[in-house]
A and B are shown apart, each in its own frame.
Chain A
Amino acid sequence: MRAVLAIVRKDLLIEWRTRETVVTTAVLGILLVTVLAVAHDPTPAAAPALVAPVVWAAVVFTGLLGVERGFLLEREQDCLGGLRGAPIDPTALYVAKLLVNVLLLSVTQAVVVPLTGLFLRVDLWHAVPSLVVVLFLGTVGFAAVATLFAFVTVRLRTRQVMLPLLVLPLLMPLLIAAVKATEAVLGPGLGTARDAVGVLVSFDVIFVTAGLLLFPAIIRD
């Protein structure tokens, strides 16, 4: 537990000093939302239907970049080797990276999601609590998979394409459920999307557990 906090503290300190990941991914997220909104050019009546898909497309692509950045940082001057050699439980490293990724992605979303509502002229304000729940559940599942596979790809020459290639198919069920849940939040209310929320929760549980169990096996060598 102390090891987890130490790594989280280290990563957040680096991020606080450079503000690199959050600023770049947030701006990229805004650009993505703009591109998608402009490409669709929706009528005011059609715009609300776009919010859920646009939000999640932005979450996924900014998330992939954010998670990858966090690991490139560790690669410089072989910090990863240092972490691997440190006398800590490897699962602590996974938990710490997962926490940092969830935190940083949430900050990015706090910028991108309200702007999506603004661009697509949808009032998200009344739905904030349930929207936060859905975004949080989706982000945990996303980060659980992406963190595991960022460790897989960080040493590959082809990592820039391999990370999305490996992660996107696995994330598909999460994305379907997240979009459906978000649509419910903006429409009839979260209570009508029990199945989707169920998928989100079970995806989170399955892949956080899988990450904890599989991570030591790939960090060993």
Chain B
Amino acid sequence: MRGMEWFGALASAALVAVLYVALLVAPEAVGEGAVQRILYIHAPSAFAAYGCIFVAAGASAVYLWKRSPAADRLAASAAEVGVLMCTFVLVTGSIWGRARWNAWWTPDPRLTLMLILWAIYVSYVLLRAFGGDDEEIAPYAAVVAIAGVLAIPAIRVSSRLMRGIHPSVIAPRDGGTGLADPYMRLALWGGAVAMLLVAAWLVTVRTRLERVEREVRAVRRAADAAEGVV
């Protein structure tokens, strides 16, 4: 197996191990029911989403500065995987909310923050998909990726102006109790590592695919041009 397959196998194994701990080993949280275990995917997906978004913005900044096509490909891939991870967060959160709050959605600060982030990077993906030539659209897409990260502090503060009911599990200073059992913490932090690995693996695969796709498009354009000459 080549490096990329090893990487994929490692990420998958980590995910399976975490699911084992999260679903079977960690004790059920008192009064929360089995649905609470969705936290072990929900919160790690959020870490991975932030990881992808920061990588996308960083790579975009490098691209604007150095104009390196590799940085642009990395940014495009990371933004796409970031959208996927945001979607995981929203979907798992929504399922949990239906069970716990009896509502799929509620205008809560953290929910709003994630939805806005999701929308920003969806617009990035749409710009890349419908904008036109890769080379022409790349600097514009880079501006979107960077602006998205710049907006995060403003989104955080402004969404707090709204009423909130989201539980605070990780940071005790926000009134969270923390996770009592060591296996719960293992499931959560192990889950974070596993999801980051999965995201990193998806980004590597996607970056390679992006390179091949662009080569194919370039060859096709050259072929079309040659045909025009004949």
A binds B: yes
Picked from A162, A174, A217, A220, the residue with its CB within 8 Å of the CB of B154 is A174
Q: What residues of A have a CB within 8 angstroms of the CB of B151 in the complex?
A: 170, 173, 206
A83 on the interface (CB 8 Å rule)?
A: no
Q: For residues 105 through 153 of chain B, which have their beta carbon under 8 Å from a beta carbon of chain A?
A: 112, 116, 119-120, 122-123, 126-127, 130-132, 136, 139-140, 142-144, 146-148, 150-151, 153
Q: For residues 52 through 72 of chain A, which have their beta carbon under 8 Å from a beta carbon of chain B?
A: none
Picked from A145, A172, A180, the residue with its CB within 8 Å of the CB of B155 is A172
B159 on the interface (CB 8 Å rule)?
A: yes
Contact A173-B116, Cβ < 8 Å, known A165-B126, A195-B157, A196-B161? yes
Q: What residues of A have a CB within 8 angstroms of the CB of B162 in the complex?
A: 176
Q: For residues 153 through 205 of chain A, which have their beta carbon under 8 Å from a beta carbon of chain B?
A: 153, 155-158, 162, 165-166, 168-170, 172-174, 176-177, 180, 195-196, 198-199, 202-203
Q: What residues of B have a CB within 8 angstroms of the CB of A149 in the complex?
A: 143-144
Binding site for A on B (CB under 8 A): 64, 112, 116, 119-120, 122-123, 126-127, 130-132, 136, 139-140, 142-144, 146-148, 150-151, 153-155, 157-162
Contact B146 A214 (CB under 8 A): yes
Q: What residues of A have a CB within 8 angstroms of the CB of B112 in the complex?
A: 172, 176
30 contacts between A and B (CB under 8 A): A148-B147, A152-B143, A156-B130, A156-B131, A158-B131, A162-B126, A165-B123, A165-B127, A166-B123, A169-B116, A169-B120, A169-B122, A170-B151, A172-B116, A172-B119, A176-B158, A176-B159, A195-B160, A195-B161, A202-B154, A202-B157, A207-B147, A210-B146, A210-B147, A214-B143, A217-B64, A217-B142, A218-B140, A218-B143, A220-B139
